Amino acid sequence: MTTASEHHLRFELNGTPRELTVRANTRLIDLLRDDLGLTGTKEGCSVGVCGACSVLLDGQLISACLFPAAFADGARVTTIEGLAPDADHLTALQDAFIRHGGFQCGICTPGQIMAAAALLQDNPRPTPDQIKTWMMGNLCRCTGYYKIVESILAAAEASTPVVPRQPVGIR
């Protein structure tokens, strides 16, 4: 039986330099979840159409379930865990998803937020139609999307990009 070759990677993960060796057939989602314990990125469809595994690679939105981890060498990877500046603060986008009910079961939420972060980076003041078009690659079975669009619009309107994290239920 032949084993896959191994590749030595150096990359930045959520602002921290990382160096490790991966097998050639390791997907980025497996590296993040299984090897590095970052379980915020979810695997939904495994074929790149649901958006649950969305992460940013050098600021560009990608599906981690399709992306070979070896290709992250030299790149900057941002997951949902690395979006906020620290454990005591949320981004305005994360806060808006909480305040405006942009999630229900939570399975698609990390991918929705990462896709929305890429949108707001590209277009800080999107229209509802632009949001709907951009977010088409992120499926949700629970919300009906209205609250997701509302959350993204609220984040775009927020004057403060980072807000203090508050315990759940004390709003």
| 6-82: CATH topology | Ubiquitin-like (UB roll) (3.10.20)
pLDDT digits (tens, 9 = 90+) for 52-62: 999 999 999 99
pTM across the whole model: 0.90
* pLDDT at residue 151 in the model: 97
* pLDDT at residue 141 in the model: 87
Q: Tell me how far CA of residue 109 lies from CA of 37, 75, 77, 117, 149, in angstroms.
A: 18, 24, 18, 12, 13
* pLDDT at residue 95 in the model: 95
Helix, strand, coil percentages for the chain (3-state, nearest 5) = 35, 20, 45
Q: Tell me how far CA of residue 81 lies from CA of 16, 62, 77, 143, 169, in angstroms.
A: 12, 16, 11, 22, 21
* pLDDT at residue 170 in the model: 43
* pLDDT at residue 162 in the model: 62
Stretches in the chain below the pLDDT threshold 50: 168-171
Choose which CATH entry (1.10.150.120, 3.40.220.10, 3.90.280.10, 2.40.50.100) describes domain 89-161: 1.10.150.120
Nearest CA to 28 out of 2, 3, 61, 1 is that of 61
Q: Map out the domains of the chain as residue ranges.
A: 6-82, 89-161
